[in-house]
Amino acid sequence: MWRPPPSNPYDIVTEPVTPATTTTPAARPVTTAVTNTNPMLKTFYTMISPTILLIAPISYFGSCQMAFNGGSIPLFIHTGNDAEDLKIKLYIVAIMGAVSTVTSACVGPFTDKYGPRIMLVFSVGLYTLTMGTMWVTRPENNLWVLFPCVVLFSLCSGVVANQNYKMMGVLFPGTASAFAAQRFHGSLGTGVAFMSSGLMLTQDGIPNMNIWAPLTWGFLIAGTIGSFIVTRDERFHRRR
């Protein structure tokens, strides 16, 4: 009796059941499913699996950084000239998009060569330097601080996101439920980050770095630690 291959045990297969004593149309083969697994339950269990939860902070870091880059950094610009402020804010968003695009196109070979661990350590160092600069200086209307930091934030976000994709591809190759679980955590984090970003402003209406810096840095550190755990898998240590 044929069974689905181990690599995809959730295929719905059929077994022909043909009576031996008749050839009438009513005796056509009958199909019977061999599995009753609910795909929704499979995705849910994947969402809360230890491996996914260990690297979920990376998705949350990306979500918080997206809210900080796109929704909060532009609030540092308020010179009193609305037209000029809008122009600078659009430049900031354009720079974010350009750097993210270039990073996404170029970071893959470095990830394949050095692996997620080294790339994440590099990202932690770069992010600590950048966020520390934003935290200790006064970036309000200070383009000499804002523009370089925007470039470095976008670079760091792109590198970290690529490590997330790399780990998912190695740990869950071709598994739709795992990628759905990853997107769930990312979407959840994005929604919460944007909805709560208004609470992370000072009385002057600018981003409160005393909240943003520990929050994003904490997620990045937690995700890096989790990544070091999951990348102990032998598949990450094969000769590249």
Helices and strands counted in the chain (H then E): 6, 0
**What residue has token string 């069974």?**
3
What is the rounded average pLDDT for all residues in the chain? 84
Query: Which positions ≥6 away from 194 have C-beta within 8 Å?
Result: 67, 71
Domain ranges of the chain: 1-37, 39-236
The rounded percent of the chain whose pLDDT value lies above 70 is: 82
Strands (E) in 110-231, as ranges, are none
Calpha distance 236→232 (Å, rounded): 7
Which CATH code is given to the segment(s) 39-236? 1.20.1250.20
Structure tokens at 111: 């990830």
pLDDT in tens, 19-30: 554 444 444 433
Q: How much is the pLDDT for 238?
A: 67
Question: Residue 156: pLDDT above 50?
Answer: yes
Q: Where are the alpha helices (DSSP H) in 14-81?
A: 39-47, 50-67
